[in-house]
Structure 1
Amino acid sequence: MYRLDPRYAPAPQAVLHTGWQAVASQLPDGPAVVAIEGPPSVDWSLLGHRLERELTGRGTPVTLLDMRSHYARPAHVRSRTERPADADDPYFRRLADNPLDDLFEILPVSAPPKEGLLLVYGPGAALVDHDLLWYADVPKRYAEAAVGAGEPGANLGLPGEKPDFRRLFYIDWPMLDQHRDSLVHRLDAWLDMQSPDHPAWIDGAGLRATYAALARKPVRTRPYFNSTPWGGHWAQRELGFNPDARNTALGYELIAPEAGILIGTGPQAQAEVPFQLMCVLEPDNVLGAQVHARFGTSFPIRFDYLDTVGGGSLSVHCHPKESYMRERFGWDYTQHETYYLTRGSTDTKVFLGLREDADVDAFRKEVERAVTDGVPMDPEDHVLAFPAEQGQLFMIPAGTPHASGAGNLVLEISATPYLYSLRFYDWLRPGADGNPRPLPYEHGFANLETGRRGDAVARDLVQEPRTLREGTGWREEVIGGLAEMFYEVRRFVLDDEAEAADDTQGRFHILNVVDGEGVTVHTAAGDRHELAYAETLTVPAAVGPYTLRATGGGPVRVVKASVR
């Protein structure tokens, strides 16, 4: 059965506490300066108040210093963090690489108190002199929800101002991630603030020991679905996600910049910690030495769901080509994608690639009329449509126009960049705010792949499975590979109770059960991990040899992705 909250035990030496009293008990009586770093999405006022109350209640004097009250003026923060070249682009920005110092004119003085504690908290707290360093956090989905709700102060360095998604995605998150990653080797503790009345605390050394252990065994990140105007309902009906939400559109199985790992012993004693920090602390064990050398600590492949079952078609869009992505947006690699049809039929569609007779100028004019005058268009006049047969993989190299039609469950097996959808047409559909959804079609036409058309699309991008190796009751097939894409997708087909051997050979694998009840993964080191239908599992490079054993009394299919 699909697990909504996969959880892993902390390392034996790790200390995990929950509740404010227990958290405060980990602070000394002083005199000392305690810095508590973290993103603006944390409820910092509550954190300061609750720690002050617990500490004064035990007789420890406390002085509070909120870093947010020391930000530079908003105009200065914007001038330092926003590139003039991006001013005319209403859709995207180049990824920021600013240090958090740019949020401040002058850092506050944090002289040690004569007695008790000086508690410095908020974004940038680690920049002041301190004796202890904690990191308080909530997953990025909380920040996205806060911006969507229009909560003032949700953007970094701009308290009281109306928030903006463009700033969140391309300025706040890159700055915060870079800062957090630089601190993880010396953190004294991690504080999960998802439950403001019941926070979870884990000591820094114990956190690093836990990451070190997890980096050598299969691990699954906590899944999450959000809602969009096109979303369907498969994940609500079949997996039990968000039953009260308007839909379950985009399923975050493993998107490394946002993924979290649950560490703990149960729902009331767990902390969610970023998957990305495991890549920072254990890059060779997680990624593998060659992948690490190529991509740094960026985990380069993502698995997510596009649920349009009972929903609508996605927008017709493409993604930036590599040079454009690097020079315009600041990513070192680009957003190649694939669609695996976990659920589909010959009656539903996948839009992919230009028709042989496509007239790009006519395509552009129809897009512009749809944007300016609200005139509907038929994408199939320009873009091919294929039957969305269950089990088919569609290759989508950068620049290729594409979309999933309504009625499908797509498993996206893609490069990690995920915030650059260059939309051409969105069916004149309003967004959640009732306004037309953004259509950055100028970016789209600047990246549109016009060389691969018609029969070449079907030949190159809709490939037939090729058996790579086989054994008793199983086979491994290549279902998608292109020289221009840095990763390959394969599929295991296993009969009931069949067992197939594999080996990471120094490069991580990602697995997902696309058909059948599931498999059990056994590693050479003796670790065992169950993987049920629709679940995604990371097999770190350090695992080496492992086996897949089919369970559940029927054939099982498991897709696998890895860097070529």
Structure 2
Amino acid sequence: MRRSNYDKFPVTNITGEIWVGIEDIISQLQREIVKKDFILVVDCYVGVSLDKLYECLINLHPDLCINTECLMKPENEVRDMTYPYVTDDELFGYRTRLNISDFFDHEKVSAFRKRISSEKGIKIILGCGASWICPDADLLVYGDIARWELQQRFRRHEIKALGVDVRNESPARQYKRGYFCDWQVCDTLKKSIYEKVCYWLDMNIPLTPKMISKDTFMRGLAKTIEGPFRVVPFFDPAPWGGQWMKDVCDLDKNADNFGWCFDCVPEENSLMLRVNGADFEMPSVNLVYLKTSELLGEPVEARFGQDFPIRFDFLDTIGGGNLSLQVHPTTQYIRDRFNIPYTQDESYYLLDAEEGASVFLGVKTNVNKESMLADLRSAQSGEMIFDPQPYINCFPAFKHDHFLIPGGTVHCSGAGAMVLEISSTPSIFTFKLWDWKRLGLDGKPRPINVEHGSHVINWKRDTEYALKYLVNCVEVVAEGDGWIEEKTGLHPNEFIETRRHWFERTVTHYTRNSVNVLNLVEGDEVIIESPDERFEPFVLHYAETVIVPASVGTYMITPYGTASGKRCATIKAFVRLNA
């Protein structure tokens, strides 16, 4: 196994204003309160620790300090209102059309607005929706938090949802409420106040909040978007998890396993600014919302709005087990059932593989549809153990193979594979058909979705189809002195195109009006440079994922350091604009 040079904490270095810790933050806010009659609004993302924030702000000795929770509708009303979006399903809901004002009792809000306009002194309004309750604040501060940190708090049963106490619910149900309801509401509100926020709070570590000024916040985003950048990856165990990432990504060797790495999921990853040597963490989706056209490219923005359409993550089953047998929905199904505009088409690129590794992909030719579904249903009810052999293709898998998986295709990675999953971004729409009779990490059976799956399986994706259109469809499209460019996918039904470059010397890339996402799949390290020095040189290490904004245009990649003069390879994804 190679020595790890994987950077787990990538940062954007800038100069600016940062305040670290409660005392520092309070001192700066105190300097902002320049008159006796002053309204300070501290809005925040759902899941921010309000108790800690209140303890911080009470040091300003306000005449009035109120948490927006007391102005919300009763919990039973909020549950009834959100039920159509949250539903009874353990995993899936329906993307909400609610906004922040729907969660509040408007009579209470009206009375409170009259109160703060008539009373004198220092007044603090704290909590989700505070900027909507009091839009004319003297000072607006926003407390932000990464979605990955929210997921950790779900697992620890620490936080409430918008207007609802969900701490006794399963982490899956808490995540579902966030994904389909609360996060949509909070993101919509945050988009509307970006220009009004004077200070941003990093609330990922409750006991050590950090604060930066608006100018520093904007400067950090502007610096990041100038050239290639990485978001902060996060790693998670899985029931099927493996051991490969422990060495390559320098992870805890005492952990049971690591199954997942999310290395480019901007909706859930963080962006780290290093301000004067101190780290400030924010959701990377802030960059997507505020720098949409520069990041995505105008044609991609026109098609996807402010959705970042490309997702890279790792699935490690080396020393682990098979993933669940699964299928992703078709576009029409995901629209009708979940109010999501496009589906999770994907592919498996094999970063590495043990001897005997395999990938399950597509149904066998002339499969008996009714028999397969009957066996899956019987297995779901515990009457039998599902045997995939009569029904599902199982192809041998080797390093650098590429398997294409358009929505509706039955699939899963077998044991012994290190998969770089390249997909579109709807992240939770995996219909598990069979999970090999194992339990989740919580000791409970993981939800199986045979009925959802039965509506979307494409039975034409059989053995012949898979071999012709889904397995290693590699085509050389260009070559030059010391480099070769290959088209490796994706399937024509998918909007993502992937290109693999093998190179021993500099190769030139073009974003062509689309954000590019790359992973170094061979070689220790490469350097990414601008031909006209538009951005600082960026060093990319083995297995790291980098995002290249569409606005970069032309960039060059060269083997670097210990890889100088050696054969390297990148896999690049971008949006197929003529699709």
- The corresponding residue for 1:83 is 84
Does residue 449 of structure 2 align to residue 445 of structure 1?
Answer: no
- Indicate which of 48, 53, 56 corresponds to 1:47: 53
Following TM superposition, by how much is the alpha carbon of 1:423 offset from its aligned partner in structure 2, in angstroms? 0.7
- The corresponding residue for 1:390 is 399
SS of the aligned residue for 1:347 comes to coil
- The corresponding residue for 2:511 is 504
- The corresponding residue for 2:68 is 67
User: Given that residues 504 and 543 in structure 1 are in contact (C-alpha distance below 8 angstroms), is that contact kept between their aligned partners in structure 2?
Assistant: yes
Structure 1 residues 128 and 515, CA gap change in structure 2 (3 angstroms): same
Code of the aligned partner of 1:560: K
Determine the C-alpha separation between the residues in 2 that align with 1:143 and 1:535: 24
Determine the C-alpha separation between the residues in 1 that align with 2:424 and 2:459: 22
User: Given that residues 422 and 443 in structure 1 are in contact (C-alpha distance below 8 angstroms), is that contact kept between their aligned partners in structure 2?
Assistant: yes
Code of the aligned partner of 1:343: D
Code of the aligned partner of 1:150: H
Of 100-109 and 118-127, the range deviating more from structure 2: 100-109
Following TM superposition, by how much is the alpha carbon of 1:311 offset from its aligned partner in structure 2, in angstroms? 1.6
TM score, norm. by length of structure 2: 0.91
Report 1:40-439 matches (<5 A). Answer: 40-53=46-59, 55-56=60-61, 61-83=62-84, 87=87, 89-106=89-106, 108=109, 109-110=112-113, 111=116, 116-129=121-134, 130-151=137-158, 153-159=159-165, 162-163=168-169, 164-165=173-174, 166-265=176-275, 269-439=278-448
Query: Per-residue displacement from partner, 1:293-341 (whole Å, max 9, x unpaired)?
Result: 0000111001001111222111000111001111211111110001100
Following TM superposition, by how much is the alpha carbon of 1:410 offset from its aligned partner in structure 2, in angstroms? 0.5
User: Given that residues 208 and 281 in structure 1 are in contact (C-alpha distance below 8 angstroms), is that contact kept between their aligned partners in structure 2?
Assistant: no
Following TM superposition, by how much is the alpha carbon of 1:380 offset from its aligned partner in structure 2, in angstroms? 2.5
Determine the C-alpha separation between the residues in 2 that align with 1:559 and 1:379: 31
SS of the aligned residue for 1:327 comes to helix
Determine the C-alpha separation between the residues in 2 that align with 1:143 and 1:438: 22
Query: Per-residue displacement from partner, 1:33-65 (whole Å, max 9, x unpaired)?
Result: 222222332111111112222x24xxxx45321
User: Given that residues 18 and 275 in structure 2 are in contact (C-alpha distance below 8 angstroms), is that contact kept between their aligned partners in structure 1?
Assistant: no
Code of the aligned partner of 2:101: D
Determine the C-alpha separation between the residues in 2 that align with 1:15 and 1:560: 36
TM score, norm. by length of structure 1: 0.94
Determine the C-alpha separation between the residues in 2 that align with 1:462 and 1:160: 44
Following TM superposition, by how much is the alpha carbon of 1:456 offset from its aligned partner in structure 2, in angstroms? 1.0
SS of the aligned residue for 1:373 comes to coil
Does residue 44 of structure 2 align to residue 34 of structure 1?
Answer: no
- Indicate which of 2, 6, 9 corresponds to 2:13: 9
Of 390-399 and 71-80, the range deviating more from structure 2: 71-80
Code of the aligned partner of 1:7: V
Of 93-102 and 236-245, the range deviating more from structure 2: 236-245
Following TM superposition, by how much is the alpha carbon of 1:467 offset from its aligned partner in structure 2, in angstroms? 1.4
- Indicate which of 533, 536, 548 corresponds to 2:557: 548
SS of the aligned residue for 2:93 comes to coil
Of 344-353 and 295-304, the range deviating more from structure 2: 344-353
- The corresponding residue for 1:517 is 524
User: Given that residues 112 and 118 in structure 1 are in contact (C-alpha distance below 8 angstroms), is that contact kept between their aligned partners in structure 2?
Assistant: no
Identity of aligned residues (%): 30
Determine the C-alpha separation between the residues in 2 that align with 1:381 and 1:154: 47
Determine the C-alpha separation between the residues in 2 that align with 1:233 and 1:96: 39
Code of the aligned partner of 1:222: V
User: Given that residues 7 and 265 in structure 1 are in contact (C-alpha distance below 8 angstroms), is that contact kept between their aligned partners in structure 2?
Assistant: no
Determine the C-alpha separation between the residues in 1 that align with 2:160 and 2:295: 32
Determine the C-alpha separation between the residues in 1 that align with 2:127 and 2:463: 55
- The corresponding residue for 2:572 is 560
User: Given that residues 225 and 242 in structure 1 are in contact (C-alpha distance below 8 angstroms), is that contact kept between their aligned partners in structure 2?
Assistant: no
How many equivalent pairs are there? 552
Query: Per-residue displacement from partner, 1:62-92 (whole Å, max 9, x unpaired)?
Result: 53211123221111101222218x7454431
Structure 1 residues 169 and 228, CA gap change in structure 2 (3 angstroms): farther
Determine the C-alpha separation between the residues in 1 that align with 2:299 and 2:308: 12
Gap regions ≥5 residues in structure 1: none
SS of the aligned residue for 1:101 comes to helix
User: Given that residues 340 and 391 in structure 1 are in contact (C-alpha distance below 8 angstroms), is that contact kept between their aligned partners in structure 2?
Assistant: yes
Determine the C-alpha separation between the residues in 2 that align with 1:526 and 1:126: 37
Does residue 22 of structure 2 align to residue 20 of structure 1?
Answer: yes
Of 1-10 and 179-188, the range deviating more from structure 2: 179-188
SS of the aligned residue for 2:558 comes to strand
Code of the aligned partner of 1:196: P
Code of the aligned partner of 1:453: D
User: Given that residues 46 and 183 in structure 2 are in contact (C-alpha distance below 8 angstroms), is that contact kept between their aligned partners in structure 1?
Assistant: no
User: Given that residues 503 and 567 in structure 2 are in contact (C-alpha distance below 8 angstroms), is that contact kept between their aligned partners in structure 1?
Assistant: yes
Determine the C-alpha separation between the residues in 1 that align with 2:45 and 2:452: 31
User: Given that residues 476 and 491 in structure 1 are in contact (C-alpha distance below 8 angstroms), is that contact kept between their aligned partners in structure 2?
Assistant: yes
